[in-house]
Structure 1
């Protein structure tokens, strides 16, 4: 599918999504704060916090990130303490979920992604939570760790969902992998545990660097000291935690992050199915 074939959001849709995501964020932050769990605005949400004092006007998601220890505890407390209107989506809780990140999803809404027709759980309007895992100072070991994660992640995907790919050949290859992985006496929980072990391979020791293994841009290491002590910043109508060296992190991720992109690039592709339900 070419870029021109994606559906674009209407102004009303993007504002409505952002309104609901802000509601989710506030509820999640309230629980994290009550349990003394440290989070940081991340990615486009961190960029929006600094450049726009809130959402990037055309952005359709919220990303926060936590050090692994806090991330694992956050999954437990969110599972227990989230209001009933939310689902916690993570591969440890849902059989055919393949994401190493977590999502807090609003029940009664629909946010159709490329994979949602292939899974049994419902994905609503949501926000993302990412873990930060320990990484050694060696870029050679760091890249090896990234390749290991990518390798294990493919086994998780291929064991969890049976989907149609971009070409017939790739579809047949993927279906074959799915059938084999679901035939042999090793279930998908094994591959998920293997993926988590790869992500947390260096957790046994303190490291100066950390990494977001799920980073779609590929291997990118961050300095642990750039996050704490966090500072507060305005995001829309309330305060959030951001890394203390946000300028360094944003420059590392985006380059000249204060430069507004050209108008033709100011949009995200809308999902094929978008339903706000009663909201």
Structure 2
């Protein structure tokens, strides 16, 4: 018997319900300050396909236009309850270039955590900043956007000193600059206004969405509550997952985390 897997399954629903409370706080702040956001990724898929969490999912994803994300980063720290913290690469030595709202009274471990760094490790909601993309083909986006994300990931991965690391630094550094230049040329020559997606260093799959599939924002039911959603969830999810209504095989229905503890102190007020 795999006791760890059984433990995670026992904690999963409690963790999901706690993440809903984090999302409700984000929604409250966004409504109060007219900050745009919408359910993204597996959370939007769960809302459409399961009316809530994908049964084996253990996080929540939302997206914001970059300017709204910057506004949220300024406003949220003073408006979040004391049990929650806004975590950014600027405020904590995180392992990812992603903004999160973390719960402080929980513990969530992923496979690539760095325990030598004192960043918060509680349950969270991921916030992905979205930007305009140039009016290019999907193949261009996959080649240059995906390529830039891969190079960034390699360059920012922990390295041991070696000739290989030395070679990788210059090789992938040069590729990253080349991809970035090509992207700037595309912006200058193709214009923008039709597409948007995640900032390039987070767009490892080379996905882009038509802006008219995102705006004007709509609402969708997620775990019996209403949250913001893209204007056309079908088009948005098709961009992400193709045949998104197809349930993956049992062996792929896995919890992302290595360990989940929804509450560290059970009687915390």
TM-score for both structures, normalised by structure 2: 0.79
Aligned to 2:22: 24
| Kept after mapping to 1: 8 A contact 2:39/2:61 | yes
Aligned to 1:101: 98
Residues 174 and 236 (structure 1), Cα distance of their counterparts in 2 relative to 1, 3 Å cut = farther
SS where residue 115 of structure 2 aligns? helix
Match of 1:244 among 231, 239, 243: 231
Query: How many residue pairs get matched?
Result: 246
TM-aligned CA deviation for residue 175 of structure 1: 11
**Unpaired runs of 5+ in structure 2?**
170-176
| Kept after mapping to 1: 8 A contact 2:214/2:236 | no
The question of 1:215 aligning with 2:203 is answered yes
1:118-133 matches, cutoff 5 A: 118-133=116-131
Residues 156 and 265 (structure 1), Cα distance of their counterparts in 2 relative to 1, 3 Å cut = closer
RMSD: 3.2
CA distance in 1, matches of 2:256, 2:207: 25
Q: Which moved more, 1:124-133 or 1:7-16?
A: 7-16
Aligned to 2:132: 134
| Kept after mapping to 1: 8 A contact 2:12/2:260 | no
CA distance in 2, matches of 1:55, 1:237: 11
TM-aligned CA deviation for residue 10 of structure 1: 4.1
Aligned to 1:230: 217
SS where residue 118 of structure 1 aligns? coil
Match of 1:85 among 69, 83, 86: 83
SS where residue 207 of structure 1 aligns? strand
Q: Which moved more, 1:262-271 or 1:109-118?
A: 262-271
TM-aligned CA deviation for residue 88 of structure 1: 1.3
CA distance in 1, matches of 2:124, 2:213: 27
Q: Which moved more, 1:135-144 or 1:123-132?
A: 135-144
| Kept after mapping to 1: 8 A contact 2:22/2:125 | yes
Aligned to 1:144: 144
SS where residue 49 of structure 1 aligns? helix
| Kept after mapping to 2: 8 A contact 1:39/1:241 | yes
| Kept after mapping to 2: 8 A contact 1:133/1:203 | no
CA distance in 2, matches of 1:51, 1:267: 17
Q: Deviations over 1:18-67 (max 9, x none)?
A: 01101111111111111101111011100011111111111101000011
SS where residue 193 of structure 2 aligns? coil
TM-aligned CA deviation for residue 86 of structure 1: 1.1
CA distance in 2, matches of 1:126, 1:174: 38
Residues 137 and 206 (structure 1), Cα distance of their counterparts in 2 relative to 1, 3 Å cut = closer
Match of 1:73 among 64, 71, 74: 71
CA distance in 1, matches of 2:13, 2:120: 22
Q: Which moved more, 1:207-216 or 1:37-46?
A: 207-216
Residues 174 and 111 (structure 1), Cα distance of their counterparts in 2 relative to 1, 3 Å cut = farther
CA distance in 1, matches of 2:153, 2:47: 31
| Kept after mapping to 1: 8 A contact 2:135/2:192 | no
Residues 156 and 248 (structure 1), Cα distance of their counterparts in 2 relative to 1, 3 Å cut = same
Aligned to 1:255: 242
